[in-house]
Chains A and B, each alone.
Chain A
Amino acid sequence: MIDRSGLYRLTWRLPLLLWQGAFFVVPLCFMAAMTFWLVQNYRMEPAFVWTNWQRMLGRAVFWDAYWVTLWRAALAGLIASVVAFPASYVLAFRMGEAGRRFVLLCLIVPFFTSFLVRAYAWQVILAESGPVNAVLGGVGLGPFTMLNSSFGTMVGYLTLVLPLVVIFQTWSLAAIDRALIEAAWNLGATPVKTLLRVILPAARTGLLLGAVFAFIMSFGDFVSPAYLGGSKPPTLSILIIDTTKSGQQWPRAAVVSVMMIVTLFATAAAALRLAYGRRG
């Protein structure tokens, strides 16, 4: 028997454990177990074989997709951080509290709007005969092929991650003690030196978290490489969908998923160590 107070406590504590246990932890564990199962006559059968792992990891297609995805996501994290930084700087140091909060609230909105429709809009905007090429053509440039390329993919990634990166960066920049910056000025540091020696180290945590989130979101994104990058070369997310949807090879798609999760965990762990570790 549990007493009344215990009942009260469990009422609030259990829902998360039950729901996310049954529908988040268990499905992921099941997926990991599934990598050892066999597919026979389009049906999965419990087994313990390494066939799926050997088949997937033995294929050049997988490793090509792996390195392309890793490289592009890392690039997206870097580009997003660099592109976002001046905007975050302006928000943190050149704007009042109220204005900053308003801008950040505006930036949260696209995060919750359909990325699929936004990607479709880019398809139209960047098309061979689309508005951007029309404007460039007006000044005698182009037309440029922007879709079905890594450029298209990157536009998609940046649309997805930029707002979030700006938010992370602005938070950490705005939290820097102004006295620190003024001290650097008073001690004769140039603006560049102040940025490199004072501001960047002090805002390290937010800058790194922004980059890591950009990496994680780009790494798993399916829409940008598929609809703006033309699926060539396929990324890991495209590989998972193709393997799942055609041929019912769920266990092999699961192998790709597990490899992705391991990569993401390793990256996140390394980044967190850097972000929160001893200041160098």
Chain B
Amino acid sequence: MRRAGDLLGAIYLVALFVFVFAPIAASVVFSFNSDRFPTLPLGSFTTDWYARAFSRPELWEAIANSLLVAAVTSVLATFIGFATAYTDFRYGFRFKQAYLALALLPPTMPLVIMGLAMLAWLSQLGLSGTLRGIIIAHTVLATPFAMAICRLRLSQMDTTLEAAAWNLGAGQWGAMRHVILPFCAPAIVSSLCLTAAVSFDEFIVAWFVSGLNRTVPVMILEILQGNVDPQINAIGSVVFLTSMTLVVLAQLMIFRRRRHD
């Protein structure tokens, strides 16, 4: 009885995984498949879609834009996220609840609304249509993730460690540099990876504010608005590979140490 139940449960879990990961797997499979409208049985193996997609100069431009935006966003978001996590860890103050709400609220806001609000506000500042505009918006969206990762790491730290450093004569800045930052290093690297992935995949806000400076996902969106084009699978597979690598790296950084602690 128990065995049968376990088996059913396992099958259910696998089915759910198949549903969640089917589009990712399908995208990779179709990217190497010769049919324009893929079906079963599959057509022949080809790398043609990759060759076509990557021979477009605008794709390389978009990749350069995406990498730049993701890199700057990850540094900014990680700094702000770390600072916020440390503030929450170290200090109690009035309105702390509101402060934390501000820190964690952005991901709950629909991206379409963020896109419109950012477009309107950045236009007022003369920043819409620039890469700086996208960086600003992505930093807003990515900071909560950075804050969560750093806070998770800080919660594993012995709270007396910092005080011990002060007692041994370190100043506040010294304790930060020699105790807190080294302890948080894995979380900081992890946060850099994860926030880069957030920025690399975000397309709605980027689409609203980008103007002519397109990032990779914005370019995919614009191809999508035309016809079915298997080049998207080729570009998409590269995008998947990039963000999945970043996320897995992020996970390895924060969860690796735990086993030994």
Instruction: Give the B-binding residues of A (Cβ under 8 A).
Output: 4-5, 8-9, 11-17, 19-21, 23-28, 30-31, 34, 83-84, 86-87, 89-91, 94, 101, 103, 105-110, 112-125, 127, 129-131, 133-135, 158-159, 162-163, 166, 216, 219-222, 227, 237, 240-241, 244, 250, 253-254, 257, 260-261, 264, 268
Contact = CB atoms under 8 A, between A and B. Distances in A.
Contacts of A166: 16
Contacts of A84: 16
Contacts of B19: 158-159, 162
Interface in B64-115: 76, 79-80, 83-84, 86-87, 90-91, 99, 102-103, 105-106, 108-114
B255 interface: yes
Contact of B23 (A11, A112, A125, A244): A125
A167 to B, nearest CB: 12
A116 B106 contact: no
Nearest to B137: A23
Contacts of A237: 110, 112
B124 interface: yes
Interface string B145-179: 00100000000000000000000000011000000
B87 A162 contact: no
Contact of B117 (A11, A117, A162, A257): A257
A254 B113 CA distance: 8
B102 A222 contact: no
B20 A30 contact: no
B7 to A, nearest CB: 10
Instruction: Please classify the interface of chain A as helix (H, G, I), strand (E, B), loop, or mixed, using the class held by over half of its residues.
Output: helix
A50 to B, nearest CB: 19
Given A125-B22, A158-B19, A30 B119 contact: no
B120 interface: yes
Contacts of A106: 17
Contacts of A122: 23
A279 B49 CA distance: 57
Contact size range, B: 35 or more
B151 to A, nearest CB: 12
Contacts of B84: 12, 15-16
Given A118-B27, A120-B224, A237-B110, A19 B247 contact: no
A12 B124 CA distance: 29
A28 B236 CA distance: 32
A116 B220 contact: yes
Q: Which 8 A-B pairs have the closest CB atoms?
A: A220-B110, A117-B236, A121-B23, A27-B121, A90-B9, A118-B23, A27-B117, A134-B40
A244 B246 CA distance: 33
Given A16-B102, A117-B240, A222-B204, A30 B140 contact: no
B171 to A, nearest CB: 8
B10 A121 contact: no
Contact of A116 (B79, B83, B198, B203): B203
Nearest to B230: A124
A44 B254 CA distance: 47
B59 interface: no
A118 B224 CA distance: 12
Contacts of B217: 114, 116
B13 A87 contact: yes
B116 A20 contact: no
A19 to B, nearest CB: 6
A183 to B, nearest CB: 20
6 contacts: A12-B87, A24-B106, A109-B244, A133-B39, A220-B113, A254-B120
Interface string B201-216: 1011000100000000
Contacts of A16: 80, 83-84, 87, 99, 102-103, 143, 147
B251 interface: yes
